[in-house]
Structure 1
Amino acid sequence: MRRLALEAGDKIMEIYQADDFEIKSKSDDSPVTAADEAADAIISAGLRAAFPDVTLVTEEQAASHSQRAETFLIVDPLDGTKEFIHRRGDFTVNIAYVENGVPQRGVVYAPAKGRMFFTLADGRAVEETGPLDKDSIGDTAPLSVSQADNSALLVVASKSHRDQATDDYIGKYAVKDMKSAGSSLKFCLVATGEADIYPRVGRTMEWDTAAGHAVLLGAGGQVVRFDDHSPLTYGKEDYANPFFIAYAPSVDLKEA
């Protein structure tokens, strides 16, 4: 999964650094580029070869969205297409392995930022800190969520999907610093301790969140539904998520 994320990232950056690239609209009017499609082809072929018996769900293949299985791979080959189009760098490659509703393994790679987060075989999360080589893993640093100061919280929120409902919820907390980030990097910022909480009051799909969710779980974090604070689970109908909160367990969660 890590190697495929790196290979897809190379192709994405090749298109990102070109003078121009085509932007098309999908049936839901969301944008898609040649980078989304090329990355999807690389990852899908690699996963099908490595896991021939595991169901594969990927954002760019609508036919895969009707599949249902207790164990499945779920992919967003380019999460943060708007960030990519505007050349803001906050986009990621997301690959996750889900079992019984829980994302057990995940890879989140931000090729424009050179940041690679993934879970080890035992589920613990790390960030790879050395030069990124497709054939061998370099130096890694274990990830651990913060010990939050509830009188001075560090909050991360969406860069492209910020709204009044999000701000209203954040207003329930004593906030020391607020940062915005695109794509699944928000989960990773909570996993590294760079943020304490990431509330999402807006539409997301499971392929947007599963890999970052796995990384955060591997760092000791949690992701719960916004409405009742029960664990966010996967394999839901249409692979659509409810609103949710990703956080370090030391945060005193407020009611919606």
Structure 2
Amino acid sequence: MTLNLSNLLSSVEQIALDASAAIMQVYSREFTVEEKEDKSPLTEADKASHEVIVAGLQALPEGYPVLSEEDAEGFSDPDGAGRYWLVDPLDGTKEFIKRNGEFTVNIALIENGRPVLGVVVAPALEVSYLAAKGVGAFKVEWGAGKVGERRTIRVAGKPAEGATWRAVGSRSHPSPDLAEWLEKLGSHEMVPMGSSLKLCLVAEGTADAYPRLGPTCLWDTGAAQAVVEQAGGRVETLEGEPLSYATPSETLNPHFVVWGSRD
């Protein structure tokens, strides 16, 4: 079946916005925090968002399998064309608990190991990032219940020789290897940010690089990687290979770097 990624992007955007509304209902009141087996936190908002997204994606005519962080065991395999949905219902749960607004809803469509569509919504910040292969990458700012127009975004390109690099890093997961990596990069300023918003800052050109030298999972990066790539950037392992989603049974990503340029 030939995909109309433009139409599909709009459908997935709406699903992510519906999930965001469910998250904000929890965010606006007191909520309980559980602990998963891996010691990471889980809230009512994670669960509510997961239910909205899975129901929305399963209602689409494409019928692709869904791999969600909140039900990884329920995923079998990609379909015969190598397609599946990759979902993080609430990326940045620690930021959600801190109430600093830096959390996102991530939905990606994977095709033969590559993210070809991605939607990242930051409900508390009222901003969305959208992308699809051959369609483009966009930022949407919204408020008071009204979603604004899509604005095309583009990476900044490689900084000029001797210029200061704008590097973005995790607010909740500092890495002991990061200082060494940044020293090799040269003159830089560090911008802390939570969740998949770090990749989106590179995609929109407000950051030049995001080194991730700590653990992440497929669902943390898939949607935002689609945005970065369609905005002209790249997401690569330390060996220079594109971050791959071809083996969803292996949910941990290798260390990687997001670059706001093609070289």
TM-score (norm 1): 0.91
Identify the residue that residue 53 of structure 1 maps to in structure 2.
Answer: 63
Q: Shift of residue 89 of structure 1?
A: 0.9
Question: Conserved in 2, the CA contact under 8 Å of 1:98 and 1:104?
Answer: yes
Identify the residue that residue 24 of structure 2 maps to in structure 1.
Answer: 13
Question: Conserved in 2, the CA contact under 8 Å of 1:65 and 1:239?
Answer: no
Identify the residue that residue 150 of structure 2 maps to in structure 1.
Answer: 140
Q: Shift of residue 140 of structure 1?
A: 1.5
Structure 2 counterpart of 1:54, one-letter code? Y
- Report percent identity of matched pairs: 39
Q: What do you get for the CA RMSD once the two structures are aligned?
A: 1.8
Question: Conserved in 1, the CA contact under 8 Å of 2:127 and 2:142?
Answer: no
Identify the residue that residue 72 of structure 2 maps to in structure 1.
Answer: 62
Q: Shift of residue 175 of structure 1?
A: 3.0
Structure 2 counterpart of 1:46, one-letter code? G
| Pick aligned residue for 1:92 from 84, 97, 104 | 104
List, as ranges, runs of 4+ consecutive aligned residues in structure 1 with deviation greater than 6 Å: none
Identify the residue that residue 229 of structure 2 maps to in structure 1.
Answer: 217
Q: Shift of residue 4 of structure 1?
A: 1.0
Question: Conserved in 2, the CA contact under 8 Å of 1:80 and 1:91?
Answer: yes
Question: Conserved in 2, the CA contact under 8 Å of 1:105 and 1:211?
Answer: yes
Deviates more, 1:89-98 or 1:119-128: 119-128
Identify the residue that residue 198 of structure 2 maps to in structure 1.
Answer: 186
Q: Shift of residue 176 of structure 1?
A: 3.4
Matches within 5 A, 1:138-177: 138-149=148-159, 150-151=161-162, 152-177=164-189
Q: From the superposition, tell whether residues 8 and 130 of structure 1 become closer, same or farther in structure 2 (CA, over 3 Å).
A: closer
Q: Shift of residue 39 of structure 1?
A: 0.4
Unaligned stretches of 5+ in structure 2?
A: 1-11
1:2 aligns with 2:16: no
Question: Conserved in 2, the CA contact under 8 Å of 1:224 and 1:245?
Answer: yes
Structure-2 separation of matches of 1:17 and 1:131: 16
Deviates more, 1:84-93 or 1:119-128: 119-128
Q: Deviations over 1:120-169 (max 9, x none)?
A: 573410001355868xx631211100023252111001111112112211
Q: Shift of residue 206 of structure 1?
A: 0.6
Structure-2 separation of matches of 1:124 and 1:54: 22
1:82 aligns with 2:79: no
Secondary structure of 1:12's counterpart equals helix
Unaligned stretches of 5+ in structure 1?
A: 252-256
Identify the residue that residue 23 of structure 1 maps to in structure 2.
Answer: 33
Structure-1 separation of matches of 2:90 and 2:246: 20
Structure 1 counterpart of 2:243, one-letter code? L
